Structures are given as structure tokens and as C-alpha cells.
């Protein structure tokens, strides 16, 4: 293909834009979306599954996420995702045979404390409580005497005030274990994931605060227990979302931290997802590190649940190997000589690169791949800046389309997801309307260039901003949904001669329209042969 005369085919991901009920919880239905409405009524369209087994997650009702969504779109097939692979390895016992876990346990055998750090949640987006419990039980059965958990509270992939549920489950485990002579297993520190540690925008102050709490046992707030901390912060602010809880240290009667890290200890980052685990991993592992002053750094053995940065092999010790995509979409079209771009803002940059590529972060051939990053707003709540960088992304997309160089481009608009995660209706509406207008500018430019686009989402979120209890009580929802997402094939030459496959009850997990079918659909839109080792295209010729 002559890249100078390419007709661009785009994959536009409106992150967090699901098909809602149209009810009071549905911010998308309450938004004015003239572009979406026009495209939906004039273009071939369908809806896609993005959750549970449709993206390789273990449980039927596991929400999809941007990691698994982009990985599945890039793979063109359903692959077992990190948590599925971990669960299988735990079930067949191979999880406990890894060299990395043996080294961790060996430090415990030698009298070191094992510290588990990570998101205490069953959201299965970044982590799962079961994985904490498997590690804790394994350590106990091995006879390891001392273990600490440094817990990040979620409220973003689960209900907004659920921290106490997960805390109590582990407290029960600890009570049982500590009833055995010589064992001391405890929580040592805590705090909301948006306040400490799980940053992905180089906002080092958040990582530093978490580091000081977990590693040095230093922080402004001291509590005798996790529940004392949770009760304290909730009494100050009854509607506090767990993700926003301030960080704290658990202390003994003498006000000493119960879990500061010492030379000879081991640390396991229990999160399996990389984007929000990289920065703390850098702090633990890098010799030359300028994120913040780490103070007197204890000599600990550090391991992560999975690889967080494949290009730099971070962390060095991984309990599980990476989920491998042998031949991701980006590599396949590179091999066909098609020039491509990826475009988004910082918050979703790993998704359109690392996750969509099934592992690699940098272009394989910089002459044929442009990965364009628009810096996200820093130190704001996206509820206060719901336009995020959608307009800048649209500006750049128009420029790239007009350059006549690209045969493929992947664009992600983060707004409906990131603002959806704040749990507030008015900003979510603003976010959606901004994305709608931005998509409108892109399709106009595509029309002039003779291009096409698949316009879809990796999972729902903003169409479900409230959840309702059985008694009718309602609560803000910050998490993703398991609703299907729209999928529109924008084609200015559309003459009705094809449609997109519709979901029906006869279909299987593999055949129901889902994110795994997009790669083949894109090949067909590009006029390329669809590879026979991926799931089939959604295009049905009439």
C-alpha cells in the first residue's frame, strides 16, 4: 500500500460510553448528543459485549475495563486475562511454584516480614481480594510468622463505600492465624487509591505519601486499626468515597507504626494491572530514581503480581508471566506496510499503546507508527475539568487525517469514563457532550478524506451513574457497567449494502458481537484480507 495515498480507517474509542436504560441514572441519555444520534440512525451499527467471559475475565459479571478492552480489541480474539490466568494458576497450584514467590517466601523463612501492598477490592480490574487471601494462606501454611497488609481502598471499581467489607474479611483471616503461637499478621497502613500510590500521571506527591506511610510508617494520621480510620474519616465526611480517603498508619499502644519496612523484608505488589502499579514499582526498584526523596531506603525484596512495564522488565520479580498476544493488530498492519497512529491523553495512553499492543510500549517501527500523547490536566478532579483534552485530541486527529499519510489510527476519548468515575451527573453530561462534538469534527474530516471509522467503547460507565438498592435507595456509581456498548461503522459512502451482525440469544461467547470482533472488521474496512487466526468481522453483506 502506498502510505501517501492511504484512506484512513480509524478506531475511535469513546471510553466508558455504554448503552444505558435511558433512566435517571443514564448520563448519556440526559446529554445532548446530536453527532451520535445522527450516526446511529444513518450508519450500520450494532452493540458489543465488553465484560466477563466476552473479554476473557473469570466471572460472568466481571466488569470490563480499559486494559482488558484494549487488549481484546488488539488481539482480535478472546484471551484469558491476568486475573483469569492467576485464578487458574492458584487452582492448579502452579502459582505457588514460581521462582519469584519462592524467593519472597524464603525471606519470610529467614525471619523477614512479608508486606502485601495493593488495592483491597474484588473489582477484578486492578486486583482481587482472593489473591491477597491466597498469598496470606500460603504464607501461613509455610509457617511464615510475620505479615503486613498495606491496603489501598477502592470505591471506584466497586461500591463507593465498601472498604470495611474487605477489611473485615482479612481481619477474620488474621484473627484465625494469630490464634496460632508466634504468628502476627496485621494491617499496617491504608488510604484511598486516588490519594496515594495508584497514580498514573507522574504526580509523584501521591506516590511519595504512600511510600512514607507503607515503607517508613510515617504520616499525618495514626489509628489503632483500619476500622478506626474508616469510621473517623466517614464521620468527618459521611459521603466520602473510599478512593478519596486520606492515607494513614496503623500504630500500637505506644504510637509506633506496626508495619514499617525493615532490611530483609519482602514486598509483594498484589495488583495485576500495570498502569497504576508502575510508579510505586519504580520507587521500590530503580537505583536512579528522581520521583521524590525516598529517605533511608530499606533493603527489601520486591515482587509484583505481573509485569507492569514489559519494555523495562519492571518489576524484576513477577509472580505470573505476562498475558501474551502473539500477533496484535498493530503489528499485523505494520507488516502490511500500513502507516498508523495512536492518539489520546495521558490517562489512556498505556491503553492505546501497551494494552492494545498486548505488551510493547514503543513503536516497533517509528517511521511507520506515531504514538501521540496529549498531556492530561494534572492535579484536578476531572469532575472540575470534564472536557479533559477531547478538543485537543480532535484538533490533532483532524491534522493527522488531513496529512494523508495514515491507513489506520486508534483514538481514545477518556471523558465519559474518567468523569464517570467521579460519580457526579452534571460533569458527566458535560464530558459526554464534549466527546460527541469532538467525534463530529473527526468524522467530518474523515468524510473529506474518504476515510471510515468504527466508533465504539471499551466498556460502559457514564450511562450508569447511580445504582439502586432493592429498597429503592440510590447511591452514586463510580464504577464501570456491564452494559453493551455501541458500535457504529461510519462510512460516508454507505449505501445500505451491508449491516453489522446483531446480538442474539443463539450466539456463543465467541460469536456474540464483542470487542474481539473489531480487528477483523477493521481489516475488512481497510480492504485487506482478514487473517484466518482471529475472530470474524462483524460486517454482513446484504
Is 294 annotated as ligand-binding? no
- Tell me how far apart the alpha carbons of residues 95 and 103 are, in angstroms, rounded to a whole number: 13
Nearer to Co ion, 309 or 417 (CB): 417
Is 361 annotated as ligand-binding? no
Size of the site for Co ion (CB under 5 A): 1
In the complex, least distance from residue 354 CB atom to ligand 3PG, rounded to whole angstroms: 12
Among 218, 211, 186, CA closest to 197? 211
- Tell me how far apart the alpha carbons of residues 168 and 437 are, in angstroms, rounded to a whole number: 46
Nearer to ligand 3PG, 276 or 342 (CB): 276
Among 536, 529, 446, CA closest to 493? 446
Active site residues: 66
Phi, psi of 374 (to 5 degrees): -100, 120
Per DSSP, which regions of 35-145 are E strands?
44-48, 114-120
What, of ligand 3PG, Co ion, none, does residue 58 touch, CB below 5 to 8 Å by kind? Answer: none
Decide: is 309 part of the binding site for Co ion (CB under 5 A). no
Is 275 annotated as ligand-binding? yes
Is 200 annotated as ligand-binding? yes
Which residue minimizes CB distance to ligand 3PG?
A: 65
| Distance between start and end Cα atoms, the chain | 28
Nearer to ligand 3PG, 126 or 452 (CB): 126
In the complex, least distance from residue 66 CB atom to Co ion, rounded to whole angstroms: 5
What, of Co ion, ligand 3PG, none, does residue 157 touch, CB below 5 to 8 Å by kind? Answer: ligand 3PG
Is 222 annotated as ligand-binding? no
- Centroid of chain to Cα 217: 28
For the record, the C-alpha cell of 43 comes out as 450508519
- Tell me how far apart the alpha carbons of residues 223 and 232 are, in angstroms, rounded to a whole number: 9
- Tell me how far apart the alpha carbons of residues 360 and 353 are, in angstroms, rounded to a whole number: 7
In the complex, least distance from residue 57 CB atom to ligand 3PG, rounded to whole angstroms: 12
What, of Co ion, ligand 3PG, none, does residue 67 touch, CB below 5 to 8 Å by kind? Answer: ligand 3PG
For the record, the C-alpha cell of 105 comes out as 517466601
List, as one string, the DSSP characters of 344-410.
EEGGGHHIIIIITTTT--S-SSTTTEEEEEEPPP-SS-TTT-TTTTHHHHHHHHHHHHHTT--SEEE
Question: Stretches 134-142, 332-340, 371-379, 415-423: which one binds Co ion (CB under 5 A)?
Answer: 415-423
Is 180 annotated as ligand-binding? no
Is 274 annotated as ligand-binding? yes
Nearer to Co ion, 171 or 417 (CB): 417
Partners of residue 74 on adjacent β-strands: none
Is 193 annotated as ligand-binding? yes
Question: Stretches 216-224, 287-295, 410-418, 463-471: which one binds Co ion (CB under 5 A)?
Answer: 410-418
Q: Output the CA–CA distances (angstroms, integers) from residue 335 to 242, 327, 368, 375, in the order listed.
A: 46, 10, 10, 30
- Tell me how far apart the alpha carbons of residues 234 and 229 are, in angstroms, rounded to a whole number: 9
Decide: is 417 part of the binding site for Co ion (CB under 5 A). yes
| Bond prior to 270 in cis (omega within 30° of 0) | no
In the complex, least distance from residue 442 CB atom to ligand 3PG, rounded to whole angstroms: 21
**Interface residue list for ligand 3PG (CB under 6 A):** 15, 65-67, 125-126, 156-157, 276, 417, 421
In the complex, least distance from residue 16 CB atom to ligand 3PG, rounded to whole angstroms: 6
What, of Co ion, ligand 3PG, none, does residue 513 touch, CB below 5 to 8 Å by kind? Answer: none
What, of Co ion, ligand 3PG, none, does residue 433 touch, CB below 5 to 8 Å by kind? Answer: none
Nearer to ligand 3PG, 189 or 481 (CB): 481
Nearer to ligand 3PG, 400 or 416 (CB): 416
The single-letter DSSP state of residue 312 is T
Nearer to Co ion, 174 or 349 (CB): 349
Phi, psi of 23 (to 5 degrees): -80, -170
In the complex, least distance from residue 78 CB atom to ligand 3PG, rounded to whole angstroms: 17
List, as one string, the DSSP characters of 202-253.
--HHHHHHHHHHHTS---S-EESSHHHHHHHHHHH-TT--GGGPPPEEEB-T
In the complex, least distance from residue 346 CB atom to Co ion, rounded to whole angstroms: 14
Decide: is 244 part of the binding site for Co ion (CB under 5 A). no
Grid look-up 478512593 returns 243
- Tell me how far apart the alpha carbons of residues 216 and 148 are, in angstroms, rounded to a whole number: 13
- Tell me how far apart the alpha carbons of residues 432 and 444 are, in angstroms, rounded to a whole number: 18
3-state secondary structure of 136: helix
Is 126 annotated as ligand-binding? yes
In the complex, least distance from residue 65 CB atom to ligand 3PG, rounded to whole angstroms: 3
Question: Stretches 365-373, 392-400, 414-422, 434-442: which one binds Co ion (CB under 5 A)?
Answer: 414-422
Is 102 annotated as ligand-binding? no
Nearer to Co ion, 211 or 356 (CB): 356
Q: Which residues bind Co ion (CB under 5 A)?
A: 417
Provide the annotated binding site.
Answer: 15, 66, 126, 156-157, 193, 200, 273-276, 348, 417, 421, 458-459, 480
Provide the annotated binding site for substrate.
Answer: 126, 156-157, 193, 200, 273-276, 348
Provide the annotated binding site for Mn(2+).
Answer: 15, 66, 417, 421, 458-459, 480
Amino acid at each position: 500500500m502506498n502510505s501517501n495515498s492511504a484512506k484512513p480507517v480509524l478506531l475511535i474509542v469513546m471510553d466508558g460510553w455504554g448503552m444505558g436504560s435511558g433512566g435517571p441514572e443514564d448520563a448519556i441519555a440526559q446529554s445532548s448528543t446530536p453527532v451520535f444520534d445522527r450516526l446511529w440512525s444513518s450508519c450500520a451499527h450494532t452493540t458489543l459485549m465488553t465484560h466477563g467471559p466476552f473479554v476473557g475475565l473469570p466471572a460472568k459479571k466481571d466488569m470490563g475495563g480499559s486494559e482488558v478492552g484494549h487488549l481484546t480489541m488488539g488481539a482480535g480474539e478472546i484471551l484469558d486475562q491476568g486475573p483469569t490466568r492467576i485464578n487458574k494458576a492458584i487452582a492448579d497450584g502452579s502459582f505457588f511454584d514460581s521462582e519469584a514467590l519462592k524467593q519472597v517466601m524464603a525471606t519470610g523463612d529467614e525471619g523477614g516480614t512479608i508486606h502485601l501492598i495493593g488495592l483491597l477490592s474484588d473489582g477484578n480490574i486492578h486486583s482481587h481480594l482472593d489473591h491477597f487471601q491466597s498469598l496470606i494462606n500460603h504464607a501461613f501454611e509455610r509457617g511464615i510468622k510475620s505479615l503486613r497488609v498495606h491496603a489501598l481502598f477502592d470505591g471506584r471499581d466497586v461500591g463507593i463505600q465498601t472498604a470495611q467489607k474487605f477489611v473485615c474479611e482479612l481481619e477474620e483471616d488474621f484473627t484465625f492465624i494469630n490464634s496460632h503461637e508466634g504468628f502476627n499478621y496485621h494491617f499496617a497502613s491504608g488510604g484511598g487509591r486516588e490519594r496515594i500510590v495508584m497514580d498514573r500521571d507522574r504526580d509523584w506527591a501521591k506516590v511519595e505519601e504512600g511510600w512514607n506511610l507503607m515503607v517508613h510508617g510515617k504520616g499525618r494520621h495514626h489509628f489503632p486499626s483500619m476500622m478506626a480510620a474508616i469510621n473517623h474519616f466517614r464521620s468527618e465526611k459521611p459521603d466520602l468515597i473510599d478512593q478519596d480517603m486520606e492515607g494513614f498508619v496503623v500504630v500500637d499502644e505506644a504510637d509506633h507504626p506496626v508495619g514499617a519496612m525493615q532490611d530483609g523484608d519482602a514486598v509483594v505488589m498484589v495488583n495485576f494491572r500495570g498502569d497504576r502499579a508502575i510508579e510505586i514499582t519504580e520507587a521500590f526498584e530503580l537505583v536512579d530514581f528522581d520521583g521524590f526523596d525516598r529517605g533511608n531506603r530499606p533493603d527489601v525484596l520486591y515482587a509484583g503480581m505481573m509485569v507492569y512495564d514489559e519494555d523495562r522488565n519492571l518489576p524484576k520479580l513477577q509472580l505470573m508471566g505476562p498475558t501474551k498476544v502473539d500477533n496484535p493488530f498493530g503489528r499485523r498492519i505494520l507488516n502490511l506496510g500500513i502507516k498508523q497512529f495512536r492518539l489520546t491523553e495521558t490517562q489512556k495512553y498505556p491503553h492505546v499503546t501497551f494494552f492494545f499492543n498486548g505488551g510493547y510500549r514503543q513503536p516497533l517501527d517509528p517511521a511507520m507508527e506515531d504514538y501521540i500523547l496529549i498531556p492530561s490536566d494534572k492535579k484536578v478532579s476531572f469532575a472540575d475539568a470534564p472536557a479533559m483534552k477531547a478538543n485537543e485530541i480532535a484538533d490533532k486527529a483532524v491534522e493527522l487525517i488531513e496529512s494523508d499519510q495514515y491507513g489506520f489510527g486508534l483514538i481514545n476519548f477518556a471523558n465519559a469514563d474518567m468523569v464517570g468515575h467521579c460519580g457526579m451527573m452534571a460533569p458527566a453530561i458535560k464530558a459526554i457532550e464534549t466527546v460527541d462534538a469532538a467525534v463530529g469534527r473527526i468524522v467530518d474530516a474523515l468524510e473529506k478524506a474518504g476515510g471510515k471509522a468504527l466508533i465504539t467503547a471499551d466498556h460502559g460507565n457514564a450511562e450508569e451513574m447511580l445504582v439502586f438498592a432493592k429498597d429503592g435507595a440510590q447511591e452514586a456509581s463510580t464504577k464501570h457497567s456491564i452494559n453493551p456498548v455501541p458500535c457504529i461503522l461510519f462510512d460516508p459512502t454507505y449505501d445500505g449494502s451491508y449491516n453489522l451482525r446483531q446480538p442474539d440469544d443463539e450466539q456463543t461467547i465467541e460469536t456474540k458481537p464483542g470487542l474481539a470482533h473489531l480487528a477483523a472488521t477493521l481489516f475488512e474496512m481497510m480492504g485487506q484480507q482478514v487473517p484466518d487466526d482471529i475472530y470474524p468481522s462483524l460486517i454482513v453483506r446484504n
